[in-house]
Homo-oligomer: A and B are copies of this chain.
Amino acid sequence: MIKRIGKHTLEFTSPPRVAGFGSVVGKKEGEGPLSNWFDKTVEDTTMGGETWEKAESLFQKEAVDIALKKANVSAENIDYIFAGDLLNQCISSSYGLRDFGIPFLGQYGACSTMAQTICAAAVFLSGGAADYCTAVTSSHFCSAERQFRLPLQYGGQRTPTAQWTVTGSGSVVLGAFENGEFTSPLENVSDDMLKRQIGVQHICTGKIVDMGITDANNMGAAMAGAAADTIYRFLRDTNTSPSDYDLIVTGDLGRVGTELLYELLDKETIDIRKNHRDCGLMIFDLDGQDVHSGGSGCGCSASVLCSYLLKNMLKRKYNNILFAATGALMSPTIVQQGESIPGIAHLVHFVNM
Protein backbone atom coordinates (compact mmCIF):
# COMPACT_ATOMS: atom_id res chain seq x y z
CA MET A 1 0.00 0.00 0.00
CA ILE A 2 1.08 3.54 -0.68
CA LYS A 3 0.78 6.02 2.15
CA ARG A 4 1.16 9.73 1.54
CA ILE A 5 3.35 11.52 4.05
CA GLY A 6 3.32 15.29 4.16
CA LYS A 7 2.87 17.01 0.83
CA HIS A 8 5.22 15.18 -1.52
CA THR A 9 6.56 12.01 0.06
CA LEU A 10 5.24 8.51 -0.54
CA GLU A 11 5.74 5.72 1.98
CA PHE A 12 5.46 2.09 0.92
CA THR A 13 3.98 0.11 3.80
CA SER A 14 5.38 -3.07 2.30
CA PRO A 15 8.47 -1.73 0.54
CA PRO A 16 9.36 -3.11 -2.89
CA ARG A 17 12.63 -5.03 -2.60
CA VAL A 18 15.82 -4.97 -4.59
CA ALA A 19 15.94 -8.36 -6.30
CA GLY A 20 19.10 -7.70 -8.28
CA PHE A 21 21.37 -4.94 -9.53
CA GLY A 22 24.27 -4.52 -11.91
CA SER A 23 26.87 -1.94 -12.90
CA VAL A 24 29.19 -1.62 -15.89
CA VAL A 25 31.73 1.18 -16.24
CA GLY A 26 34.50 2.35 -18.54
CA LYS A 27 38.27 2.33 -18.13
CA LYS A 28 38.66 5.66 -16.31
CA GLU A 29 35.91 4.82 -13.81
CA GLY A 30 37.53 1.42 -13.31
CA GLU A 31 40.76 3.18 -12.31
CA GLY A 32 39.01 5.31 -9.69
CA PRO A 33 38.46 4.80 -5.95
CA LEU A 34 35.47 2.47 -6.48
CA SER A 35 37.28 0.17 -8.93
CA ASN A 36 36.66 -3.00 -6.94
CA TRP A 37 32.94 -2.46 -6.54
CA PHE A 38 31.69 -2.55 -10.12
CA ASP A 39 30.39 -5.74 -11.69
CA LYS A 40 32.23 -5.09 -14.90
CA THR A 41 34.85 -2.65 -16.17
CA VAL A 42 35.43 -2.45 -19.91
CA GLU A 43 38.78 -1.39 -21.27
CA ASP A 44 37.40 -0.56 -24.71
CA THR A 45 34.73 2.06 -24.11
CA THR A 46 33.34 1.56 -27.62
CA MET A 47 32.29 -1.90 -26.38
CA GLY A 48 33.23 -3.12 -29.87
CA GLY A 49 30.46 -0.90 -31.26
CA GLU A 50 30.96 1.35 -34.26
CA THR A 51 30.00 4.59 -32.52
CA TRP A 52 29.85 6.03 -29.02
CA GLU A 53 26.07 6.10 -29.11
CA LYS A 54 25.87 2.43 -29.99
CA ALA A 55 28.49 1.73 -27.31
CA GLU A 56 26.38 3.48 -24.69
CA SER A 57 23.36 1.38 -25.59
CA LEU A 58 25.50 -1.73 -25.07
CA PHE A 59 26.47 -0.50 -21.58
CA GLN A 60 22.78 -0.27 -20.73
CA LYS A 61 21.98 -3.70 -22.16
CA GLU A 62 24.87 -5.23 -20.22
CA ALA A 63 23.83 -3.64 -16.90
CA VAL A 64 20.28 -4.96 -17.34
CA ASP A 65 21.60 -8.41 -18.22
CA ILE A 66 23.69 -8.51 -15.03
CA ALA A 67 20.81 -7.27 -12.85
CA LEU A 68 18.38 -9.82 -14.33
CA LYS A 69 20.90 -12.61 -13.92
CA LYS A 70 21.57 -11.74 -10.27
CA ALA A 71 17.83 -11.55 -9.59
CA ASN A 72 17.34 -14.77 -11.55
CA VAL A 73 14.34 -13.21 -13.28
CA SER A 74 14.03 -13.62 -17.04
CA ALA A 75 13.17 -10.59 -19.18
CA GLU A 76 9.74 -11.99 -19.90
CA ASN A 77 8.88 -11.88 -16.20
CA ILE A 78 9.68 -8.19 -15.96
CA ASP A 79 6.41 -6.30 -16.27
CA TYR A 80 7.85 -2.87 -17.03
CA ILE A 81 11.22 -1.37 -17.75
CA PHE A 82 11.74 2.28 -16.81
CA ALA A 83 14.73 3.66 -18.66
CA GLY A 84 16.31 6.82 -19.92
CA ASP A 85 19.59 8.50 -20.67
CA LEU A 86 21.11 11.84 -21.64
CA LEU A 87 21.26 11.37 -25.38
CA ASN A 88 18.80 13.01 -27.71
CA GLN A 89 15.62 10.97 -27.94
CA CYS A 90 16.96 8.66 -25.21
CA ILE A 91 18.54 6.41 -27.83
CA SER A 92 20.78 4.44 -25.49
CA SER A 93 17.63 3.13 -23.86
CA SER A 94 15.52 2.50 -26.92
CA TYR A 95 18.32 0.83 -28.89
CA GLY A 96 19.93 -0.93 -25.94
CA LEU A 97 16.68 -2.39 -24.66
CA ARG A 98 14.63 -3.09 -27.80
CA ASP A 99 15.56 -6.78 -27.88
CA PHE A 100 14.32 -7.50 -24.34
CA GLY A 101 10.64 -7.25 -25.38
CA ILE A 102 9.67 -5.72 -22.04
CA PRO A 103 6.87 -3.08 -21.91
CA PHE A 104 8.90 0.12 -21.97
CA LEU A 105 8.28 3.49 -20.33
CA GLY A 106 10.98 5.97 -21.35
CA GLN A 107 11.89 8.47 -18.62
CA TYR A 108 13.67 11.78 -18.93
CA GLY A 109 15.11 13.33 -15.81
CA ALA A 110 18.58 14.17 -17.14
CA CYS A 111 21.15 12.96 -14.59
CA SER A 112 18.38 12.38 -12.03
CA THR A 113 17.01 9.56 -14.17
CA MET A 114 18.25 6.69 -11.97
CA ALA A 115 16.19 7.94 -9.03
CA GLN A 116 13.25 8.77 -11.29
CA THR A 117 13.12 5.27 -12.80
CA ILE A 118 13.22 3.74 -9.30
CA CYS A 119 10.47 6.12 -8.08
CA ALA A 120 8.18 5.18 -10.96
CA ALA A 121 8.94 1.48 -10.61
CA ALA A 122 8.23 1.57 -6.86
CA VAL A 123 4.81 3.16 -7.41
CA PHE A 124 3.90 0.62 -10.11
CA LEU A 125 4.97 -2.23 -7.80
CA SER A 126 3.33 -0.96 -4.62
CA GLY A 127 0.21 0.10 -6.49
CA GLY A 128 -0.34 -3.45 -7.68
CA ALA A 129 0.49 -2.85 -11.34
CA ALA A 130 3.51 -5.16 -11.48
CA ASP A 131 5.46 -7.99 -9.83
CA TYR A 132 8.87 -7.02 -11.18
CA CYS A 133 10.21 -3.85 -12.74
CA THR A 134 13.62 -2.92 -14.02
CA ALA A 135 15.13 0.56 -13.73
CA VAL A 136 18.17 1.50 -15.78
CA THR A 137 20.13 4.46 -17.06
CA SER A 138 23.52 5.25 -18.57
CA SER A 139 25.87 7.94 -19.77
CA HIS A 140 29.04 8.01 -21.86
CA PHE A 141 31.74 10.67 -21.75
CA CYS A 142 32.28 10.76 -25.51
CA SER A 143 28.63 10.79 -26.60
CA ALA A 144 27.75 13.39 -23.96
CA GLU A 145 30.57 15.77 -24.82
CA ARG A 146 29.71 15.58 -28.51
CA GLN A 147 26.07 16.29 -27.85
CA PHE A 148 26.14 18.84 -25.06
CA ARG A 149 29.39 20.73 -25.45
CA LEU A 150 32.12 20.40 -28.06
CA PRO A 151 33.38 17.53 -30.20
CA LEU A 152 36.32 15.89 -28.42
CA GLN A 153 38.50 16.41 -31.48
CA TYR A 154 38.24 20.16 -30.91
CA GLY A 155 40.41 19.76 -27.83
CA GLY A 156 38.73 22.60 -25.95
CA GLN A 157 40.08 23.65 -22.56
CA ARG A 158 37.81 22.56 -19.70
CA THR A 159 36.82 25.11 -17.05
CA PRO A 160 37.47 24.48 -13.32
CA THR A 161 33.70 24.07 -12.74
CA ALA A 162 33.39 21.47 -15.53
CA GLN A 163 32.58 17.90 -14.59
CA TRP A 164 33.55 14.65 -16.28
CA THR A 165 30.63 12.62 -17.63
CA VAL A 166 30.85 9.08 -16.33
CA THR A 167 30.94 6.27 -18.88
CA GLY A 168 28.80 3.61 -17.31
CA SER A 169 25.41 2.20 -16.55
CA GLY A 170 23.52 0.88 -13.55
CA SER A 171 20.38 -1.18 -13.36
CA VAL A 172 18.14 -2.38 -10.54
CA VAL A 173 15.47 -5.08 -10.56
CA LEU A 174 12.76 -4.33 -8.01
CA GLY A 175 10.07 -6.78 -6.92
CA ALA A 176 6.71 -6.24 -5.24
CA PHE A 177 6.79 -7.69 -1.75
CA GLU A 178 3.85 -8.65 0.48
CA ASN A 179 3.61 -10.84 3.58
CA GLY A 180 7.30 -11.66 3.72
CA GLU A 181 7.63 -12.81 0.12
CA PHE A 182 7.88 -11.49 -3.42
CA THR A 183 4.38 -11.40 -4.90
CA SER A 184 5.71 -13.62 -7.66
CA PRO A 185 8.33 -15.73 -5.89
CA LEU A 186 11.73 -16.31 -7.46
CA GLU A 187 13.55 -19.59 -7.78
CA ASN A 188 17.24 -20.10 -7.12
CA VAL A 189 17.96 -16.54 -6.16
CA SER A 190 21.60 -15.70 -5.61
CA ASP A 191 22.74 -15.65 -1.99
CA ASP A 192 23.02 -11.92 -1.53
CA MET A 193 19.59 -11.19 -2.89
CA LEU A 194 17.99 -14.13 -1.13
CA LYS A 195 18.04 -11.94 1.93
CA ARG A 196 15.64 -9.58 0.09
CA GLN A 197 16.87 -7.13 2.57
CA ILE A 198 16.99 -3.81 0.73
CA GLY A 199 13.63 -2.08 0.47
CA VAL A 200 12.48 1.17 -1.09
CA GLN A 201 10.66 2.73 1.84
CA HIS A 202 10.02 6.27 0.66
CA ILE A 203 10.28 8.36 -2.46
CA CYS A 204 10.07 12.11 -2.95
CA THR A 205 9.61 13.45 -6.47
CA GLY A 206 11.50 16.52 -7.62
CA LYS A 207 10.20 19.86 -8.78
CA ILE A 208 11.88 21.91 -11.47
CA VAL A 209 14.11 24.49 -9.75
CA ASP A 210 15.85 27.18 -11.76
CA MET A 211 18.86 28.88 -10.18
CA GLY A 212 19.45 31.08 -13.24
CA ILE A 213 22.69 29.35 -14.25
CA THR A 214 23.46 29.73 -17.98
CA ASP A 215 26.93 28.13 -18.11
CA ALA A 216 26.83 24.63 -19.64
CA ASN A 217 30.11 23.97 -17.84
CA ASN A 218 28.66 24.57 -14.40
CA MET A 219 26.06 21.85 -14.05
CA GLY A 220 26.69 21.35 -10.34
CA ALA A 221 25.47 24.83 -9.54
CA ALA A 222 22.42 24.40 -11.78
CA MET A 223 21.43 21.27 -9.84
CA ALA A 224 22.25 22.32 -6.27
CA GLY A 225 19.01 24.23 -5.79
CA ALA A 226 16.92 21.25 -6.86
CA ALA A 227 18.84 18.93 -4.54
CA ALA A 228 18.36 21.31 -1.61
CA ASP A 229 14.65 21.64 -2.39
CA THR A 230 13.98 17.90 -2.55
CA ILE A 231 16.07 17.02 0.52
CA TYR A 232 14.40 19.81 2.46
CA ARG A 233 10.88 18.72 1.43
CA PHE A 234 11.61 15.08 2.26
CA LEU A 235 13.00 15.85 5.74
CA ARG A 236 10.04 18.12 6.45
CA ASP A 237 7.47 15.59 5.18
CA THR A 238 8.98 12.76 7.24
CA ASN A 239 9.82 14.95 10.23
CA THR A 240 13.35 13.57 10.30
CA SER A 241 16.81 15.10 10.40
CA PRO A 242 20.04 14.29 8.55
CA SER A 243 21.40 12.31 11.50
CA ASP A 244 18.55 9.80 11.05
CA TYR A 245 20.31 8.48 7.94
CA ASP A 246 23.59 6.61 7.50
CA LEU A 247 24.22 8.44 4.27
CA ILE A 248 22.65 11.24 2.26
CA VAL A 249 23.87 10.77 -1.28
CA THR A 250 23.51 13.23 -4.15
CA GLY A 251 24.03 12.26 -7.76
CA ASP A 252 26.59 14.47 -9.42
CA LEU A 253 26.87 17.89 -7.83
CA GLY A 254 30.64 17.70 -7.87
CA ARG A 255 32.83 20.01 -5.79
CA VAL A 256 31.15 23.25 -6.80
CA GLY A 257 27.56 22.05 -6.51
CA THR A 258 28.17 20.31 -3.20
CA GLU A 259 29.41 23.50 -1.55
CA LEU A 260 26.40 25.33 -2.89
CA LEU A 261 24.05 22.61 -1.59
CA TYR A 262 25.52 22.99 1.92
CA GLU A 263 25.03 26.76 1.79
CA LEU A 264 21.45 26.47 0.58
CA LEU A 265 20.54 23.96 3.29
CA ASP A 266 22.28 26.11 5.93
CA LYS A 267 19.59 28.69 5.24
CA GLU A 268 17.02 26.14 6.40
CA THR A 269 19.28 25.28 9.36
CA ILE A 270 19.88 21.82 7.95
CA ASP A 271 23.45 20.55 8.05
CA ILE A 272 24.11 17.41 6.03
CA ARG A 273 27.94 17.75 5.92
CA LYS A 274 28.58 14.89 8.34
CA ASN A 275 26.90 12.13 6.38
CA HIS A 276 26.69 13.56 2.88
CA ARG A 277 28.45 11.96 -0.07
CA ASP A 278 28.21 12.92 -3.73
CA CYS A 279 28.54 10.17 -6.36
CA GLY A 280 30.43 12.61 -8.58
CA LEU A 281 33.06 12.97 -5.84
CA MET A 282 33.12 9.26 -4.99
CA ILE A 283 33.68 7.75 -8.42
CA PHE A 284 36.87 9.64 -9.34
CA ASP A 285 40.01 10.66 -7.49
CA LEU A 286 39.74 14.41 -7.89
CA ASP A 287 43.41 14.96 -7.17
CA GLY A 288 44.74 12.28 -9.47
CA GLN A 289 42.26 11.86 -12.30
CA ASP A 290 41.98 15.35 -13.82
CA VAL A 291 38.20 15.48 -13.71
CA HIS A 292 38.02 19.05 -12.39
CA SER A 293 34.84 19.42 -10.29
CA GLY A 294 34.02 15.67 -10.30
CA GLY A 295 31.99 13.08 -12.17
CA SER A 296 28.57 13.63 -13.68
CA GLY A 297 25.97 12.05 -15.94
CA CYS A 298 23.11 9.58 -15.45
CA GLY A 299 25.67 6.81 -15.35
CA CYS A 300 27.47 8.42 -12.39
CA SER A 301 24.79 8.02 -9.74
CA ALA A 302 23.50 4.85 -11.42
CA SER A 303 26.83 3.03 -11.35
CA VAL A 304 27.71 4.19 -7.82
CA LEU A 305 24.28 3.14 -6.52
CA CYS A 306 24.46 -0.24 -8.23
CA SER A 307 27.92 -1.02 -6.86
CA TYR A 308 29.35 0.61 -3.74
CA LEU A 309 26.06 1.80 -2.20
CA LEU A 310 23.81 -1.24 -2.60
CA LYS A 311 26.68 -3.70 -1.98
CA ASN A 312 27.49 -1.93 1.27
CA MET A 313 23.83 -2.14 2.21
CA LEU A 314 23.96 -5.90 1.64
CA LYS A 315 27.04 -5.96 3.89
CA ARG A 316 25.09 -3.87 6.43
CA LYS A 317 27.80 -1.22 6.53
CA TYR A 318 24.94 1.12 5.63
CA ASN A 319 21.32 0.39 6.54
CA ASN A 320 19.56 3.54 5.64
CA ILE A 321 20.43 5.67 2.62
CA LEU A 322 18.83 8.71 1.04
CA PHE A 323 19.67 8.61 -2.66
CA ALA A 324 18.94 11.96 -4.31
CA ALA A 325 19.98 11.85 -7.95
CA THR A 326 20.34 15.29 -9.46
CA GLY A 327 19.64 16.40 -13.02
CA ALA A 328 20.30 19.52 -15.07
CA LEU A 329 17.49 19.85 -17.61
CA MET A 330 19.94 21.35 -20.03
CA SER A 331 19.60 21.65 -23.78
CA PRO A 332 22.33 23.11 -25.97
CA THR A 333 19.66 24.56 -28.29
CA ILE A 334 17.87 26.58 -25.68
CA VAL A 335 20.99 27.54 -23.75
CA GLN A 336 22.31 29.03 -27.00
CA GLN A 337 19.04 30.98 -27.06
CA GLY A 338 20.03 32.55 -23.73
CA GLU A 339 17.86 30.51 -21.38
CA SER A 340 19.04 29.34 -17.98
CA ILE A 341 19.39 25.67 -17.01
CA PRO A 342 16.70 24.31 -14.67
CA GLY A 343 17.54 21.47 -12.31
CA ILE A 344 15.60 18.60 -10.77
CA ALA A 345 16.32 16.03 -8.05
CA HIS A 346 14.35 12.90 -7.20
CA LEU A 347 14.91 11.09 -3.92
CA VAL A 348 14.72 7.39 -2.99
CA HIS A 349 15.01 6.16 0.59
CA PHE A 350 16.60 2.70 0.73
CA VAL A 351 16.33 0.77 4.00
CA ASN A 352 17.65 -2.58 5.14
CA MET A 353 14.49 -4.32 6.28
Bound complex: CA A116 to CA B90 (Å): 15
Q: Is the CB of A331 within 8 A of B107?
A: no
Whether A331 contacts B205 in the complex (CB less than 8 A), given A106-B108, A128-B127, comes out as no
One of A2-10, A32-40, A310-318 contacting the partner: A2-10
> Would you call the interface of chain A mostly helix, strand, loop, or mixed?
mixed
Q: In the complex, which residues of chain B have a beta carbon less than 8 angstroms from the beta carbon of A330? A: 89
Within 8 A of B (CB), among A287-334: 329-334
A151 in contact (CB, < 8 A): no
Number of identical protomers: 2
A152 in contact (CB, < 8 A): no
One of A63-71, A118-126, A244-252, A262-270 contacting the partner: A118-126
Within 8 A of B (CB), among A91-106: 91, 94-95, 97-98, 101-106
Q: In the complex, which residues of chain B have a beta carbon less than 8 angstroms from the beta carbon of A119? A: 105
- CB of A41 to closest CB in B, whole Å: 25
Q: Is the CB of A107 within 8 A of B104?
A: no
Bound complex: CA A120 to CA B129 (Å): 11
Whether A333 contacts B205 in the complex (CB less than 8 A), given A1-B128, A107-B105, comes out as no
Q: In the complex, which residues of chain B have a beta carbon less than 8 angstroms from the beta carbon of A205? A: 80, 103-105
Q: In the complex, which residues of chain B have a beta carbon less than 8 angstroms from the beta carbon of A3? A: 128
Count, chain A residues at interface, CB 8 A: 57
Q: Is the CB of B337 within 8 A of A50?
A: yes
- CB of A101 to closest CB in B, whole Å: 6
- Listed in ascending order, the chain A residues whose CB lies under 8 Å from chain B are 1-4, 8, 10, 50-51, 53-54, 79-80, 84, 87-91, 94-95, 97-98, 101-110, 116, 119-120, 123-124, 126-129, 147, 205-208, 210, 329-334, 337, 339, 342, 344
